[in-house]
Chain A
Amino acid sequence: MALVNSTVPQALRRKRLRERARTLAFLSPWLVGFGFFFLYPLISTVYFSFMHYDGFTAPTFAGLQNWTYVFTDYPSFWTGMGNTLWLVVVMVSLRVVFGLGIGMLITKVKSGAGFFRTAFYLPYLAPPVAATMAFAFLLNPGTGPVNHLLGELGLPQPGWFTDPSWSKPALTMLAVWGIGDLMVIFMAALLDVPTEQYEAAELDGAGSFQRFRYVTLPNISPIVMFAVVTGVIQTMQYYTQAIVAGKVASGVIGGSGQQFEPGYPHGSTWTLPQMVYNLGFQRFDTGSACVVAVVLFALSMAFTSILLRRKSGFMNED
Chain B
Amino acid sequence: MKFLALIKKEFHRFFHDPRLIVTMLLPGIVIFLLYSVLGEAFNGKAEARQYKVYLMGNSAVTEVISAAAKENGDSVEWLKTDDEETAREAVRKGEAAAVLKFSENFDGAEKGKVEILYDASNEASAAFYSLASAALNVYGMRFTVAAESVTGADALGVQILCNILPLLIVAFVFSACMSVTLESVAGEKERGTLATILVTSAKRSHIALGKIFPLACISMLGALSSFLGTALSMPKLMGLSLNMLGTYGFWNYFFILLLIVSVVPLIVSLIAVVSAYSRSVKEASAYTGMLMILSLVLTLVATFVPSLGNWTVAIPVLNAVVSMQALLTGTLPVWQSLVSVSVNFALTAVLVLVMTMMLSDERVMFGK
Indicate, yes or no, whether A interacts with B: no
Residues on A facing B (Cβ under 8 Å):
none
